[in-house]
């Protein structure tokens, strides 16, 4: 089994202050999983942040930061809170088990280990995690185009707004609307309209490829592109690229009074930087107003303005 396959079967972080326990668990799990380990709580949190394991096997009793404290720290971190934790401990009183579950663990394994039980419990928690990940992904994605949906955009724009405000970095938006899309549907049919939305969204996605960039379907034929850490000049570059990429798709639109091919209109808005006490709604309204101006002044273009 290759390293990539192992990761696909789940990356597990084993946290225990006794090397002997780490070795037993490593031996039990290494054929099916990628196994990482840490011998104290602080290192465990660091590795969890860097490596994003799919599951953590956590010793309850450790010197310094114990398992319960690690569990609380994991549950309090937005980036780590969805990682399932199985407590592994020699403590066998029911109140120990209750305490672990109340701290946020999903399961509890007693020492000494029964290797078959460890494997089975790990497998079952990984399956639940995978299903939860798939559901989360699905609930954040637009079914037709595969780009983020409006809910995902709303969550992300709020978080990015605060992040950019704290860091004193710009944040920009491009609101994008396909020109005369009603006429396109009327002329070519709804199925062709759906295929057009897929091709145009894929083309736009190619125009903004930084990890923090987010293209979302905002409404029927309306999209929004979030560009954190991007000022107005960079946003204009992206908008020009979108005009070009959509033009290069050369999707015939015989009914369009604007161009013989599918085109888009865009409204740009930048906060340089956002103000923490405020929220992104004004910026979204500004981008929308600029999109309206782009429509009014001939379509197949973008309009700009600044906003705080
Ligand atoms: N095929 C398809 N059409 C959709 C979808 N969602 C919205 N639409 C259509 O998009 C069209 C949007 O029309 P309008 O809002 O009038 O805008 P427009 O025709 O693009 O005109 P302008 O924006 O002024 O250029 C409507 O006909 C909707 O039915 C979809 O998922 N698939």
Which residues have CB under 8 Å from 134's CB, separation 6+?
A: none
Which residues have CB under 8 Å from 42's CB, separation 6+?
A: 64, 65
d(CA 250, CA 252): 6
From the candidate CATH numbers 3.30.360.10, 3.30.930.10, 3.40.50.2300, 3.40.50.300, the one assigned to the domain spanning 3-136: 3.40.50.2300
- 4 has a pLDDT exceeding 60: no
> Cβ(54)–Cβ(8) under 8 Å?
no
Confidence of residue 94 (pLDDT cuts 50, 70, 90): confident
Give yes or no for residue 142 CB within 6 A of ligand 1.
no
Q: Comparing 3-136 with 150-303, is the CATH topology the same?
A: no
Q: pLDDT of 68-81, one tens digit each?
A: 999 999 999 988 99
Q: pTM of the entire structure?
A: 0.77
d(CA 91, CA 142): 47
What is the structure's pLDDT at 308?
A: 39
Which residues have CB under 8 Å from 198's CB, separation 6+?
A: 144, 145, 146
What is the structure's pLDDT at 139?
A: 95
Give yes or no for residue 179 CB within 6 A of ligand 1.
yes
d(CA 68, CA 80): 15
What is the structure's pLDDT at 5?
A: 54
Q: pLDDT of 230-257, one tens digit each?
A: 999 999 999 999 999 999 999 999 999 9
What is the structure's pLDDT at 273?
A: 84
Query: How far does residue 221's CA lie from ligand 1's centre (Å)?
Result: 5
Tell me, yes or no, if 50 is annotated catalytic. no
Query: How far does residue 227's CA lie from ligand 1's centre (Å)?
Result: 25
Average the pLDDT over each of 99-108, 218-227, 294-303 and give the range with the smallest value. Answer: 99-108
CB-based contacts of 5-8 (< 8 A; 24+ apart in sequence): 6/32, 6/33, 6/34, 7/34
- 2 has a pLDDT exceeding 60: no
Among residues 257, 255, 265, 246, the alpha carbon closest in space to that of 179 is found at 265
Taking the CA of residue 190 as reference, the ligand 1 atom at the shortest distance is: 1
Give yes or no for residue 220 CB within 6 A of ligand 1.
yes
Give yes or no for residue 192 CB within 6 A of ligand 1.
no
Give yes or no for residue 267 CB within 6 A of ligand 1.
no
d(CA 41, CA 253): 61
- What is the residue extent of each domain of the chain? 3-136, 150-303
CB-based contacts of 186-191 (< 8 A; 24+ apart in sequence): 186/255, 187/253, 187/254, 187/255
> Cβ(49)–Cβ(18) under 8 Å?
no
Q: pLDDT of 156-192, one tens digit each?
A: 999 999 999 989 999 999 999 999 999 999 999 999 9
Give yes or no for residue 194 CB within 6 A of ligand 1.
yes
Query: How far does residue 195's CA lie from ligand 1's centre (Å)?
Result: 13
- 307 has a pLDDT exceeding 50: no
What is the structure's pLDDT at 277?
A: 67
- 306 has a pLDDT exceeding 60: no
Q: Dump the DSSP string for 232-301.
A: HHHHHHHHHHHHHHHHHH--B-TT-SS-SB--EEEEEEEESS--TTS-THHHHHHHHHHHHHHHHTTSSS
Average confidence score pLDDT of the chain:
92
CB-based contacts of 201-210 (< 8 A; 24+ apart in sequence): 201/145, 201/146, 201/147, 202/145, 203/242, 203/245, 203/246, 203/248, 203/249, 204/176, 204/242, 204/245, 204/246, 204/264, 205/147, 206/245, 207/238, 207/241, 207/242, 207/245, 208/238
Q: pLDDT of 268-289, one tens digit each?
A: 999 988 786 678 999 999 999 9
Query: How far does residue 193's CA lie from ligand 1's centre (Å)?
Result: 9
3-state secondary structure of 90: coil
What is the structure's pLDDT at 213?
A: 96
Q: Quick one: average pLDDT of 91-101?
A: 83
Taking the CA of residue 144 as reference, the ligand 1 atom at the shortest distance is: 31
Ligand 1: which of 180, 181, 302 to mutate, most ligand atoms within 8 Å of CB? 181
Taking the CA of residue 192 as reference, the ligand 1 atom at the shortest distance is: 1
Architecture in CATH for domain 150-303: 2-Layer Sandwich (3.30)
What is the structure's pLDDT at 268?
A: 97
Task: Check 34, 160, 221, 236 and give the catalytic one.
Answer: 221
Give yes or no for residue 185 CB within 6 A of ligand 1.
yes
Query: How far does residue 220's CA lie from ligand 1's centre (Å)?
Result: 6
- The ipTM estimated for the assembled molecules is 0.90
Report CA dihedral (245, 250, 251, 257) to the nearest 10 degrees.
100
């Amino acid at each position: 089994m290759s390293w990539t396959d192992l990761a696909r079967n789940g990356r597990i972080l084993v946290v225990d202050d006794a090397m002997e326990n780490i070795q037993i668990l490593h031996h039990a799990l290494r054929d099916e999983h990628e196994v990482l380990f840490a011998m104290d709580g602080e290192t465990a949190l660091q590795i969890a942040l860097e490596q994003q394991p799919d599951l953590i096997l956590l010793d309850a009793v450790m010197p310094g930061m114990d398992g319960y404290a690690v569990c609380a720290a994991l549950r309090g971190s937005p980036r780590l809170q969805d990682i399932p934790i199985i407590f592994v401990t020699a403590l066998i009183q029911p109140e120990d088990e209750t305490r672990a579950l109340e701290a946020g663990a999903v399961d509890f394994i007693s020492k000494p280990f029964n290797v078959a039980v460890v494997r089975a419990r790990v497998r079952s928690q990984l399956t639940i995690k995978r299903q939860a990940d798939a559901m989360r992904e699905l609930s954040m994605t637009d079914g037709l185009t595969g780009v983020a949906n409006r809910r995902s955009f709303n969550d992300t724009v709020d978080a990015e707004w605060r992040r950019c405000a704290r860091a004193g970095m710009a944040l920009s938006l491009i609101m994008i609307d396909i020109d005369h899309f009603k006429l396109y549907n009327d002329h070519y049919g709804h199925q062709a309209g759906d295929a057009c939305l897929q091709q145009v969204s894929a083309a736009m996605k190619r125009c903004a490829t930084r990890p923090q960039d987010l293209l979302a379907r905002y409404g029927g034929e309306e999209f929004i592109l979030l560009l954190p850490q991007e000022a107005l000049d960079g946003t204009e570059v992206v908008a020009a690229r979108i005009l070009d990429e959509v033009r290069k798709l050369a999707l015939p639109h015989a009914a369009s009074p604007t161009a013989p091919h599918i085109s888009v209109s865009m409204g740009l808005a930048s906060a340089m930087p956002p103000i923490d006490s405020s929220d992104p709604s004004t910026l979204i309204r500004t981008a929308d107003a600029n999109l309206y101006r782009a429509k009014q002044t001939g379509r197949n273009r973008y309009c700009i303005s600044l906003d705080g």
